[in-house]
Every structure is written in structure tokens, then in C-alpha cells.
Amino acid sequence: DIQMTQSPSTLSASVGDRVTITCRASQSINTWLAWYQQKPGKAPKVLIYKASSLQSGVPSRFSGSGSGTEFTLTISSLQPDDFATYYCQQYNLYSFAFGQGTKLEIK
């Protein structure tokens, strides 16, 4: 099975900062990678799919990049609404494994 590893597990940042979260796959997944945002008590929301495609309605400060085994999610200028937990997910071969999550906290 493909394993997904996110780093860091926790990230402290301030409003206006540029932040990057990394996700690594244990084998190549081409660009079959999605990013989700989850706030406490709420269902996850898809931000990015196919590694770099922005889901409709998601602010353009979110962007994704990468292919193969290494991927990044970048938030160009943090807004108060962005403090949440972020998950990557691969959807390459017969499974849809998630990373362990990155909690983005206010510094």
C-alpha cells in the first residue's frame, strides 16, 4: 500500500505569512494527489486536486505543486480563516490513503 507522510505535523504562523506543507508518497503517484482543509467539528473540504488544480470556490492564495512522490501545498498570505488542519490524499491505485495531517496554528 502507498503511504503518505506529511511535514510538519504542526506549524505555527502569523496572519500574512507564506506557508508551505509537504507531502511525500512512498511510491510514485503521478499527480493523483488532493489537499483538504478541516476545521474542528466540520467535514473536510477539498482545496486542490490532481496536485495543482484549484477546486471551484477556493481562494487563489492556495496553490499546489509536485508530481511523482513529492508535493507541496502553499498558502501565499495566511488569513484568519486558514487556521485549520490540512491533509494530503493520494488516489492512485485502488486506495485513497491520507497523510497524518498538519495542524496550522496561530503564532
Q: Which of 5, 26, 30, 53 binds another protein (CB under 8 A)?
A: 53
- How far apart CA 106 and CA 86 sit, in angstroms, is 14
- How far apart CA 107 and CA 58 sit, in angstroms, is 24
Degrees to nearest 5, angle at CA 31 with 35 and 1: 80
Q: Which of 2, 37, 49, 66 binds another protein (CB under 8 A)?
A: 49
Cell reading at 31: 499527480
Q: Which of 46, 61, 70, 77 binds another protein (CB under 8 A)?
A: 46
Residues lying near another protein in the complex (CB under 8 A) are found at 1, 34, 36, 38, 43-46, 49-50, 53, 55, 87, 89, 91, 94-101
